[in-house]
C-alpha cells in the first residue's frame, strides 16, 4: 500500500496531520495534471483545492484497486471536466498561461531549457485534450500505463494505443512548430 493510502486512512480516522501529508505529497502534480485540462494554472490551482475539499467534505471511499495517486487524479480529472462543462455552458473557456523564466547565474542555459519547455507545453496545448492528458500522466507524472488507464477510464490496450498516437501527434506538432523533436 502506498503512503497516500495510508495517510488517507489515518485522516479518515481523525488525524488531520495525515491530510496535510496528502496535500504536501500530491498538490503540485495534481495542479499540473488538472492544468492539462483547463490550460490555466490559476484555475488548475483552484480545482486542485476543490478536489482536496471533496476529500474532506465527502470523504469518498478509497477501495485500493488502484494506487492512491491514480484514485486522487481521477477525482481531480472529474472535477476539471465538471468545471469545463459549466464553463462551456456559460460560454467562458479559460485562457492559456505561460511560465515565467527564472533569473539565475547561468541565464543562457536556463533560457534555452525554458524555451524548450515552453515550446513543448505550447505544442502540447495544440493537441487534443485526451492526448495532452495521457502524455502528462505517463511522461510528466511517471504513471504506468495501467494506472493511467484507470485515471482516464480506458482499457490498457486502448491506453497504450492512445500514448502511441499522442506521441506521434506531439512529434508532428513540434516539427510543425519548427522544433527538433529529438532535442527536446
In order of start, what are the domains of the chain with their CATH numbers? 1-97 (1.10.1740.10), 99-184 (1.10.10.10)
DSSP state at residue 164: H
DSSP state at residue 91: T
- Tell me the pLDDT tens digit for each residue of 129-148: 889 889 888 888 888 999 99
pLDDT at position 51 is 95
Give the Cα separation of 63 and 59 in Å (integer).
12
Give the Cα separation of 157 and 103 in Å (integer).
44
DSSP-based helix, strand, coil % in the chain, nearest 5: 75, 0, 25
In terms of pLDDT, which residue wins out, 86 or 112? 86
In terms of pLDDT, which residue wins out, 93 or 24? 24
Is pTM beyond 0.85? Reply is: no
Give the Cα separation of 23 and 3 in Å (integer).
12
CB atoms within 10 A of CB 132: 22
Give the Cα separation of 159 and 149 in Å (integer).
6
| Structure confidence at residue 113 as a pLDDT band (50, 70, 90) | low
Does the pLDDT of residue 46 top 90, yes or no?
Answer: yes
Amino acid at each position: 500500500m502506498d503512503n497516500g493510502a495510508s495517510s488517507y486512512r489515518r485522516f479518515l480516522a481523525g488525524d488531520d496531520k495525515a491530510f496535510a501529508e496528502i496535500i504536501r505529497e500530491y498538490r503540485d502534480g495534481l495542479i499540473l495534471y488538472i492544468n492539462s485540462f483547463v490550460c490555466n494554472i490559476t484555475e488548475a490551482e483552484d480545482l486542485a483545492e476543490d478536489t482536496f475539499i471533496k476529500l474532506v467534505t465527502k470523504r469518498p471511499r478509497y477501495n485500493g484497486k488502484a494506487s492512491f495517486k491514480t484514485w486522487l487524479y481521477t477525482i481531480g480529472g472529474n472535477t476539471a471536466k465538471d468545471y469545463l462543462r459549466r464553463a462551456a455552458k456559460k460560454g467562458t473557456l479559460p485562457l492559456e498561461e505561460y511560465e515565467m523564466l527564472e533569473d539565475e547565474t547561468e541565464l543562457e542555459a536556463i533560457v534555452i531549457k525554458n524555451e524548450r519547455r515552453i515550446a513543448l507545453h505550447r505544442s502540447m496545448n495544440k493537441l487534443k485534450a485526451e492526448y495532452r492528458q495521457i502524455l502528462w500522466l505517463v511522461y510528466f507524472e511517471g504513471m504506468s500505463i495501467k494506472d493511467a488507464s484507470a485515471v482516464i477510464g480506458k482499457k490498457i490496450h486502448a491506453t497504450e494505443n492512445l500514448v502511441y498516437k499522442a506521441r506521434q501527434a506531439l512529434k508532428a506538432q513540434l516539427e510543425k512548430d519548427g522544433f527538433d523533436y529529438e532535442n527536446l
